[in-house]
Structure 1
């Protein structure tokens, strides 16, 4: 039977290093490996830059992303760079003239037409709510700046009032535990005693 211990502070009992070693050993045993496989450097393995990362990276709106410097000591902005997207027009979105893009630029060649003609804007696309107003479904603003959803709450106005505590018909059973207080513990327990009248006052003052 083999035994070992870790040199860290918690190694005298059980630390995460010992647990990780046990899991790794069990993994090698399931793979029926006779020796620990060598650790390859990044230049000896397949490049992974073309493979999307799924651990630790979650999708989110651009407005909540913060761009920080890769070198912490050279950061000039403590809070990083954030999105300052705001509504720059006062007219309602979308402008009615932009929904008829195909008819306006139909006589212009595709290589000379503005980029707005490639955005599939049409009157047939339904409109959805966003923080900037009504925008076309599937547009950038529809999923990057969605409308704020206020949770619906329905208060129960006819709900009965809570009972007065402690209950008048409830009594604690005598305890079988015998314990002798010291003088300091006796004074501490005496300071915690509260009368029924004081308990009702505390309940009323803290009830919301």
Structure 2
């Protein structure tokens, strides 16, 4: 049983000025003498409430007071994938390690090809037997009419478990174009931006900021080449 932790007491003093300035902050946590994560989260939450123009903290509704969300698809969480790439780890963070976990130990136990052509003629071999006496393989829809696909273990029937849990490793087919022309040197030497239609007078701080953005054509070529 986990021991209940006392909530931290936070104190933030802001200066009423555009923009607001942080004058004093304090938290009862270990890092509370400086700007800890609790104070940063409170500042971000306060800024979010300010953007929403809320005059008070909105109430927190329980799961029974809000709309159910199990019918909505989740963008994150458990996603389907091959079984050999899944790793099951412990739910306890202290016992979780990247090198450990339960992994798939499925391997090919025979040296020959996985599928024999004679195995596809199941109904032809057991067509005289009744359904209650025929072997279980007759209920697996094994037939020569189903097309075969490649897997890590060899060719298997399309739609079988091995066909989508152990697919073949696909290598992207890329072909470099050696005869392609070299890209132009950017920015273009004969390109000039047109005059701006805005007319305003910059302050001294804005003037220095605009002057710091100015660069030569040689420096622009070096930046473009490095990025």
- The TM-score with structure 2 as length reference comes to 0.49
The residue aligned with 2:84 is 63
CA distance in 2: counterparts of 1:116 and 1:51, whole angstroms: 39
* Structure 1 unpaired stretches of 5+: 162-208
The residue aligned with 1:85 is 106
Please say if 1:37 is aligned against 2:59.
yes
The residue aligned with 2:43 is 18
Please say if 1:143 is aligned against 2:159.
no
CA distance in 1: counterparts of 2:152 and 2:171, whole angstroms: 13
CA distance in 2: counterparts of 1:45 and 1:160, whole angstroms: 59
Classify the secondary structure of the residue corresponding to 2:120: helix
Displacement after TM superposition at 1:63 (Å): 0.4
What CA RMSD, in Å, does the superposition of the two structures yield over aligned residues? Answer: 4.5
Displacement after TM superposition at 1:28 (Å): 9.4
Displacement after TM superposition at 1:140 (Å): 1.3
CA distance in 1: counterparts of 2:181 and 2:160, whole angstroms: 49
How many residue pairs were aligned? 156
Counterparts of residues 29-178 of structure 1 (less than 5 Å): 36-40=58-62, 54-73=75-94, 78-155=99-176
1:5-49 CA deviation, whole Å, 9 max, x = no partner?
A: 7757557xx9444334544676796xxxx973344268x889988
78-87 vs 109-118, greater mean Cα deviation: 109-118
Cα 1:151–1:113, aligned 2, differ >3 Å: closer, same or farther?
same
Cα 1:107–1:22, aligned 2, differ >3 Å: closer, same or farther?
farther
Higher helix proportion (structure 1 or 2): 1
CA distance in 1: counterparts of 2:95 and 2:69, whole angstroms: 28
CA distance in 1: counterparts of 2:165 and 2:139, whole angstroms: 20
- The TM-score with structure 1 as length reference comes to 0.53
